[in-house]
């Protein structure tokens, strides 16, 4: 009986460790895009300047957007939707001078994630890199971005 109990306890611990070792999509997105300011080496949208611009959303912050190479390739020959793996990052600041970071918002295209909302995974991080309530299929994000559904849910003009 003792050997069975020990094996069951060991299996439970092993399953717990395996489950905890898997990264959540939000943490993976942080590591891919935000950690070490990786996104700052990415391209800006066509015709974008370095100036911050006021966002109608995103807490009224001043923002600047970046896109990974997958997005750049898609824009070059845009077919109506961005492909799987597209990552868009919006860095956010409290003031137009960009002195006080308030965090980042990320849109990550993940095939099959949420077809009803363009398969976009929305994540918001505060200035400390912590995930906020906008993680995954965030109604706050998708409700707003519905207005640009015809542009694959993306507000930034790139055509």
Q: Is residue 132 scored above 50 in pLDDT?
A: yes
* pLDDT, position 38: 95
Q: Is residue 118 scored above 90 in pLDDT?
A: yes
Residue showing tokens 């976009």? 120
Q: Mean pLDDT across the chain, nearest whole number?
A: 83
- Sorting pLDDT into bands at 50, 70 and 90, what band is 70? very high
Q: Is residue 5 scored above 70 in pLDDT?
A: no
Are 140 and 134 contacting, i.e. CB atoms less than 8 angstroms apart? yes
Average pLDDT over residues 133-149: 78
- The set of residues, in sequence order, having a beta carbon less than 8 Å from that of 53 and lying 6+ positions away, is 62, 63, 64
- The set of residues, in sequence order, having a beta carbon less than 8 Å from that of 145 and lying 6+ positions away, is 117, 120, 153, 154, 155
Average pLDDT over residues 102-125: 93
Average pLDDT over residues 117-136: 86
* pLDDT, position 24: 79
Domain boundaries, the chain: 24-151
End-to-end CA distance of the chain: 69
Instruction: From 57, 69, 44, 10, select the one nearest 158 (Cα to Cα).
Output: 44
**Could you tell me what percent of the chain has a pLDDT over 70?**
82
Q: Is residue 72 scored above 80 in pLDDT?
A: yes
Q: Is residue 7 scored above 80 in pLDDT?
A: no
Residue 132, φ and ψ in degrees, nearest 5: -95, -165
Candidate from 1-10, 21-30, 102-111, 129-138 with smallest mean pLDDT: 1-10
């Amino acid at each position: 009986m003792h050997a069975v109990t020990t094996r069951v306890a060991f299996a439970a611990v092993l399953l717990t460790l395996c489950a905890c070792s898997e990264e959540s999509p939000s943490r993976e997105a942080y590591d891919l895009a935000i950690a070490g300011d990786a996104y700052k080496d990415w391209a800006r949208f066509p015709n974008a300047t370095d100036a911050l611009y006021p966002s109608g959303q995103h807490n009224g912050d001043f923002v600047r957007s970046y896109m990974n190479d997958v997005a750049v390739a898609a824009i070059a020959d845009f077919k109506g939707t961005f492909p799987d793996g597209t990552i868009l990052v919006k860095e956010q600041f409290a003031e137009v001078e960009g002195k006080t970071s308030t965090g980042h918002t990320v849109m990550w295209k993940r095939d099959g994630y949420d077809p009803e909302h363009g398969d976009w995974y929305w994540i918001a991080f505060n200035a400390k890199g912590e995930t906020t309530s906008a993680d995954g299929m965030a109604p706050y994000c998708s409700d707003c971005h519905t207005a640009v559904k015809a542009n694959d849910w993306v507000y930034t003009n790139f055509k």
